[in-house]
Amino acid sequence: MRSKTAETRLRIVDAAYDSFWRFGFNRTSVDGIAERAGVTKRTIYSHFRSKDDLLAAVLVRYRELSAERLKHIGDRMPLDWEGLIASFFGQLKGWATSTPRWSGSGFTRLVIELADLPGHPARAIARRAKAETEVWLTKKLANAGARNAQQCAREILLLTEGAMSLTLIHGGRGYIEAAERAAKELVAQRV
């Protein structure tokens, strides 16, 4: 059974995760996190030295959730490359369509928000998470028979990030569909 301290810390991390996701890092206040977590600001600072330390804890937790999400996505994918790509983008489209106030990748949004802070520890955590996604997709594509699977994975992730950004800008899901078509053309040339 978890200790009260561990439960409080997790409640703070979950409240911060939700706040950072909804409002961004800069627009989230420690007071708002405390209110959302049902603790005092002093309690937050007894667990975390700063808002930046809290962000690092949130990103570690988010990486765990992201790994779980990738496993869930991967478990639902067919083994052939065309079905794999259709499933990958179909699940992205489903996420974008079914999530109220969908705002794309939290890691990407955060790094953009911290663009003027290249040494910020959150950027390194986000970079590792994106690299893990690339390795995951590389393995999936290699198992599906794609030649140069790492290059294919990188190109598909570029299409994915662009599709998420343009979907946020324009509001339609057509960019995800266009990215899927482009990804299929890329891989078709390499199988």
Q: How many CB atoms lie within 10 A of CB 105?
A: 19
pLDDT tens per residue across span 61-120 = 877 777 888 888 888 899 999 999 999 999 889 888 887 677 777 777 777 888 888 888
**Same domain flag for 82 and 176:** yes
**Same domain flag for 130 and 148:** yes
Q: What integer is the mean pLDDT of 21-50?
A: 92
Q: Assess whether pLDDT exceeds 50 at residue 138.
A: yes
**Same domain flag for 70 and 3:** no
> What is d(CA 63, CA 188) in angstroms, rounded to the nearest whole number?
31
pLDDT category of residue 8 using cuts at 50, 70 and 90: very high
Q: Write out the two tokens for 4.
A: 């009260």
Percent with pLDDT over 90 in the chain: 49
> What is d(CA 54, CA 188) in angstroms, rounded to the nearest whole number?
44
Q: How far apart are the first and last CA of the chain?
A: 50
> What is d(CA 50, CA 34) in angstroms, rounded to the nearest whole number?
13
**Same domain flag for 30 and 122:** no
Q: Write out the two tokens for 19.
A: 């706040």
pLDDT tens per residue across span 170-184 = 888 899 999 999 999
Q: Assess whether pLDDT exceeds 60 at residue 1.
A: no
Domain count, the chain: 2
Q: Give me the CATH number covering residue 127.
A: 1.10.357.10
Q: Write out the two tokens for 43.
A: 């309690």
Q: What residue numbers bound the domain in which 87 lies?
A: 55-188
**Same domain flag for 29 and 121:** no
Q: What is the pLDDT of residue 11?
A: 94
**Same domain flag for 79 and 160:** yes
Q: Give me the CATH number covering residue 8.
A: 1.10.10.60
The model carries a pTM of 0.80
**Same domain flag for 76 and 1:** no
Q: What is the pLDDT of residue 65?
A: 76
